[in-house]
Amino acid sequence: MQRICLFPGTFDPITKGHVDIIERAVPLFDKLIIGVGINASKQPMFTVDQRTDWMKQIFKKEPRVEIAGYEGLTVDYCKQVGANYILRGIRYISDFEYEKAIADMNRMLAPGIETIFLTCSPLYSTISSTLVRDVIRNGGNVRMFVPDEVTY
C-alpha cells in the first residue's frame, strides 16, 4: 500500500514554517498532497488560485508533492484522494492541544486514517500566517517569513 499523506491547511499565505514541515515530511511518504482548504467561514487574504500557484512554484521540482484545493471534511477528502495519513505541524503545546482534538475527531470519523504531527523547526516557530497577514495589512515587509514565490 502506498503511503499517501494529506497536509491540509489554509496556507494564507504559505510561510517558511510550512515549507520546513513539507520538506521534512516528503521523505516519509510516497506522495504528499498539500490540500488548500476552502473554509466558507473564513475570508482569506489570498485566493485559492494564488495560494496553490505559489505552492506549485515552490515544489515544482518535487515529484512526490501535489497541490489541490478542497472543500468539506478533511477525512472525506483523504478518502477521495486515497490518503491514509494526515500531516499537521506543531509550533507550541497549545497547537498540540487543538490539533489533538481534531485528530481524535478525525479518527472517530475515519479510523483507518492516522494523523502525524511534526514539530516546527525552532527557527520558524514564531511564524504564523495570521501574523504575516497582519504585517502585510499594515505595510510591513514579510520577506523573511515567506518563500520568495509569495508575491502580493
- What does the alpha-carbon distance between residue 57 and residue 80 come to, in Å, rounded to a whole number? 24
**Which stretches of 1-143 are DSSP H helices?**
16-25, 48-58, 74-81, 93-109, 129-137
Q: Which of 42, 107, 133, 143 is catalytic?
A: 42
| Active-site annotation holds for 91 | yes
Q: Which of 31, 88, 129, 133 is catalytic?
A: 129
Cell 517558511, located at residue: 16
Cell 472517530, located at residue: 108
CB atoms within 10 A of CB 5: 24
Q: Which of 16, 18, 51, 88 is catalytic?
A: 18
Is residue 38 a contact partner of residue 50, using CB atoms and an 8 Å limit?
no
Amino acid letter, 3: R
| Active-site annotation holds for 42 | yes
**Would you call 121 helix, strand, or coil by DSSP?**
coil
| Active-site annotation holds for 121 | no
- What does the alpha-carbon distance between residue 135 and residue 90 come to, in Å, rounded to a whole number? 22
Q: Which of 91, 94, 121, 137 is catalytic?
A: 91
Q: Looking at the annotation, which residues are catalytic?
A: 18, 42, 91, 129
